Amino acid sequence: MSDTKVVLPERDIPRHWYNVLADAPSPPQPVLHPGTGQPVGPDDLAPLFPMDLILQEVSTDREIPIPEEVLDVLRLWRPTPLHRARRLEQAIGTRSRIYFKNESVSPAGSHKPNTAVPQAFYNARAGRSRIATETGAGQWGSSMALACQLFGLECKVYMVRVSYDQKPYRRMMMETWGASVVPSPSPDTNAGRGVLEADADSPGSLGIAISEAVEDAATHDDTSYCLGSVLNHVLLHQTVIGQEAHRQLDLAGESGVDVVVGCVGGGSNFAGLALPFVRDRIGGAEIDIVACEPAACPTLTRGPYAYDFGDTAQLTPLVAMHTLGHDFIPPGIHAGGLRYHGAAPIVSQLVVDGLVRAEAYRQVEVFESAITFARSEGIIPAPESAHAIKGAIEAARRADEAGREQVILFNLSGHGHFDMSAYDAFLHGRLEDYELPEEEIQRALRAIEGLPKPEVVV
């Protein structure tokens, strides 16, 4: 019997990030200035980001070297194991072989440190001393708090109110790594005060928290803004996941993969696993690449591909992406990291180009999959990652129905050790599904009427 885990030695950590923009069939749409509607240049982004990251954001080089200082930190937990999920296969009775990449082994418990570390490094090298950022599920804030600590930066985290209330231990973790954390909307920014005036009990959203962090960075000279997803450079940093998985599948004796699955909030863990396989698909390999999202926040499956702001207060540049409208506040589902109105431009474009397809699942069926996984493989998954588990189980079911034996790979983006209140709600029948009414989508989409339209409207 082949190994249960494929573990690479440290010397096999990838030495470069893979940039899909070198191979993608469609060129990226220009990013537009929020005030003028004209394409932004590096100077427009300089108040928010250090130049190294801005250059990565616009680069079309296929390979971008990973600095030695970054590799030195990644070595604390990378390479991550690739597991063969034999017990899950048995539990669901499939003939397919299911593998998962275990990103839950990082110190923060998810894939997010893969980009937090280089972002902190480039900011420190550029002489910035403070970072402002947002967090949905708390995973990104924890990762940034850790990375800032390792590179000697101060860190302020705007944590979406509903997560702040659901996950006090995430806040304590961030504070343990030296960050200061406030619930968002907060009274600390104009953006936050504006939302609180309209609704003192606002549950918050990633869109609002991003507005607060961007405003904080734009109004403090020593401060940069860091984003945990969506942007090209963030997706780029995550490609260590897929590069390792590629090599590990070879070592497991697989000649290829039929289905690659990841969950999508902003798109970074999905892209990190999938982009090296998108490259294979562009090269002619037949791979079904599936992005899984919550039915309560169905950005890729029901949102149009359009220009929109990345945040609620319209402070960020306009990017072409699948969106539900920047003032859409997703229902307070437990996969906090998937409550985002938009999706990465790169992932959105790949959906438009037909290289990636999306599926949406309801919260209760996602937790059923999470329980099946926890009771077979032992790991309690993050609710976000459970969407990918559901996607892998669905792929196995389709293969079985078609009488095929497939190789299915999914990303376990994080563990759920700080999400136990969600499991408690599920196990005691208190977890509810939320069907998003079409009228709510239509209402939210009115926010993007009048904005410029991308050239390829689908």
Ligand X SMILES: Cc1ncc(COP(=O)(O)O)c(C=O)c1O
The residues of the shown chain that bind ligand X, judged by CB under 6 A, are 110, 136-137, 139-140, 229, 263-270, 337-338, 382, 384-385, 413-414
Please, which residue, 103 or 216, has the CB nearer to ligand X?
A: 103
Please, which residue, 147 or 399, has the CB nearer to ligand X?
A: 147
* Shortest distance in whole angstroms from residue 235 CB to ligand X: 8
* Shortest distance in whole angstroms from residue 38 CB to ligand X: 28
* Shortest distance in whole angstroms from residue 280 CB to ligand X: 21
Please, which residue, 196 or 204, has the CB nearer to ligand X?
A: 204
Query: Taking a C-beta distance cutoff of 8 angstroms, is the pair 46, 7 a contact?
Result: no
Please, which residue, 202 or 268, has the CB nearer to ligand X?
A: 268
Please, which residue, 264 or 444, has the CB nearer to ligand X?
A: 264
CB atoms within 10 A of CB 324: 27
Tokens standing for 307? 């220009």
Rounded CA separation 153/427 (Å): 41
Q: Which residue, among 195, 203, 190, has the nearest Cα to 161 in the 3D structure? A: 203
Q: How far apart, in Å, are the Cα atoms of 300 and each of 236, 338, 349, 350, 409?
A: 20, 12, 11, 11, 21
* Shortest distance in whole angstroms from residue 53 CB to ligand X: 16
CB atoms within 10 A of CB 201: 6
Please, which residue, 289 or 451, has the CB nearer to ligand X?
A: 289
Which H or E element spans position 321?
Answer: strand 318-322
Query: Taking a C-beta distance cutoff of 8 angstroms, is the pair 248, 82 a contact?
Result: yes
Please, which residue, 196 or 226, has the CB nearer to ligand X?
A: 226
Compute CA 77 distance to the chain's CA centroid, rounded to the nearest angstrom: 19
The number of residues in the chain equals: 458
* Shortest distance in whole angstroms from residue 31 CB to ligand X: 18
Q: How many helices and strands (H and E) does the chain possess?
A: 19, 15
Buried b (16+ CB within 10 A) or exposed e, 295-319: bbbbbbebbbbbbbbbbbbbbbbbb
Residue nearest to ligand X (CB): 337
Rounded CA separation 91/93 (Å): 6
* Shortest distance in whole angstroms from residue 426 CB to ligand X: 17
* Shortest distance in whole angstroms from residue 441 CB to ligand X: 20
Please, which residue, 263 or 408, has the CB nearer to ligand X?
A: 263
* Shortest distance in whole angstroms from residue 208 CB to ligand X: 15
